[in-house]
Amino acid sequence: MSESPTALERAAARSLVTKYLRVEPDENVIVEAWTHTLSMSSAMVDEVRRAGGRAFLAYEDDDAWWRAVERKQVKRLGSLSDPEWAAIAAADVYVQFWGPADSARLEKLGEKKLDEWGDGWFDRWYKLARSTGLRGGRMATGWVTDSRVRQWGVSKQRWMKALLGACLADPEEVAQSGKRLARALAGTKKVRITHSNGTDLEVALAGAPARVYEGYPHPKDRTYSEFDMMSSLPEGRLRIALDSETAEGRIVSNRRSYDEVWFPWATYSGGEFEFSGGRLTSFSFEGGEAQFARNYARGTPGKDRTGSLVIGLNPKLQNVPYLEDMERGSVRLSVGRNTYSGGSNPSNFFGSICLADSEISVGGTPVVRGGRIL
């Protein structure tokens, strides 16, 4: 059913288990696998045991999952068994791989069906995880599937290699550069983003503290969200809320951006945002503009105001699908909702644009230049 883990998978798994999840001897670790992730899941189990932990592999078979869907049992798929709840309650660490593999088929189910799947476990799962101090990671390697490769027109081998390589980044190095950047971004200063592609945009910080996502789970830290006991792996970014009243100028993308929903369906490329008087006055995309326009038209008040900045911190990433905003020195500017990052914009809309290799200045002092955190 699966090939043996490659040397790179084993190295990435060792880094994740020892440096990011920091599994201790005798800790209970659940690894949730799908059919297409068995190779990397096997590597994670190996490394948990090498670290002295107790590994439990929970396997979800893609074919069996889809047969349940065909029987109209989507809601049943979200109803976890009593033994699984008991295992989660006893676990110290949880490793989750994304699935199932056929993302194109999954998208055809529609949002309503996906909500039925999640309604059975989502709230209870996170409530239990918060109560026990569970920590864990969501594995981006689960995104690397044949249907996603066809949809995005990327090389499956290069994509997987890039993700695994990014797991080798030192989280302490990422954390230190993030803390340095967070100090520079403290307060309500003006932020200017410039690039030779025509980008010249000035925004302002909302005054909320920045959150640094270095890859460590944050199960008990109240400065993070209630879901941040599960980190993204690989990881490496800083997020900070923006003042919704200040925005002047233009930002032009050179990286893709995505809808942030259950799964990254719509992609946007070749984008441009224009701001005047604090408002988004126009947008355009070479790819995905019609979808963006439809979502924007359904947005509630605040959709035309800046939301947050994400600045990438991972030195091992460069233009990797769905992780473009983690590339060191990249910036993702969002409009719409920013309550999740400490802001006050409650709009139901969220849209973004991503730019790499720009210069970012805070209060007139450069803090990012050409992919480097200064």
Kindly report, residue by residue over 138-182, the tens digit of the pLDDT. Answer: 999 999 999 889 988 899 999 999 999 999 999 999 999 999 999
pLDDT the model gives residue 173: 96
Q: What is the pLDDT of residues 97-107, one digit of tens each?
A: 999 999 888 88
What torsion do the CA atoms of 136, 140, 146, 152 make, to the nearest 10 degrees?
A: 150
Exposure on the CB side of residue 220, measured as CA atoms within 13 A: 4
Let me know: does 45 contact 57? Beta carbons within 8 Å.
yes
* Phi, psi (rounded to 5 degrees) for 270: 60, 40
Prediction pTM value: 0.94
CA nearest neighbour of 284 among 292, 294, 276: 292
Which two tokens mark 55?
A: 């590994």
Give residue-wise pLDDT tens across range 256-296. 998 875 555 689 999 999 999 999 999 999 999 999 999 99
- Which fold would CATH assign to domain 7-166? Thermophilic metalloprotease-like (3.40.1830)
pLDDT at residue 313 above 90?
A: yes
CA 86/CA 82 separation, integer angstroms: 6
pLDDT of residue 264: 59
Mean pLDDT computed over 16-27: 98
Q: What is the token pair recorded at 283?
A: 């947008």
Delimit the domains of the chain by residue range. Answer: 7-166, 171-373
CB 49 within 8 A of CB 55: yes
257 compared with 118, residue with greater pLDDT: 257
The pLDDT assigned to 107 comes to 82
Please write the tens of the pLDDT for every residue from 75-115: 898 889 999 999 999 999 999 999 999 988 888 887 788 88
- Asked if 121 contacts 76 with a C-beta cutoff of 8 angstroms, the reply is no
Give tens-digit pLDDT for 188-242.
Answer: 899 999 999 999 999 999 999 999 999 999 998 888 888 999 999 999 999 999 9
Residues in the chain, overall count = 374
First to last CA, the chain: 47
**Helix, strand, coil percent content, the chain, rounded in steps of 5:** 35, 30, 35
User: 131 vs 57, 124, 126, 174, CA distance in Å?
Assistant: 23, 11, 8, 28
User: Is the separation of the CB atoms in 206 and 188 below 8 Å?
Assistant: yes
Share of the chain above pLDDT 70, in %: 98
What confidence tier does 341 reach under pLDDT thresholds 50, 70, 90? confident
2 within 8 A of 42, measured Cβ to Cβ: yes
- Give the residue carrying structure tokens 């990438």: 312
Quick one: 363 exposed, middle or buried, by C-beta within 10 A (0-12, 13-18, 19+)?
middle
Specify whether the CB–CB gap between 139 and 201 falls below 8 A: no
Cβ neighbours of residue 80 under 8 Å, at least 6 residues apart? 120, 121, 125
Q: Whole-angstrom Cα distance, residue 9 to residue 75?
A: 34
Per-residue pLDDT, 263: 58
Q: What is the pLDDT of residue 266?
A: 82
Average pLDDT of the chain?
94
pLDDT at 271: 97
Token output for 210: 């920045």
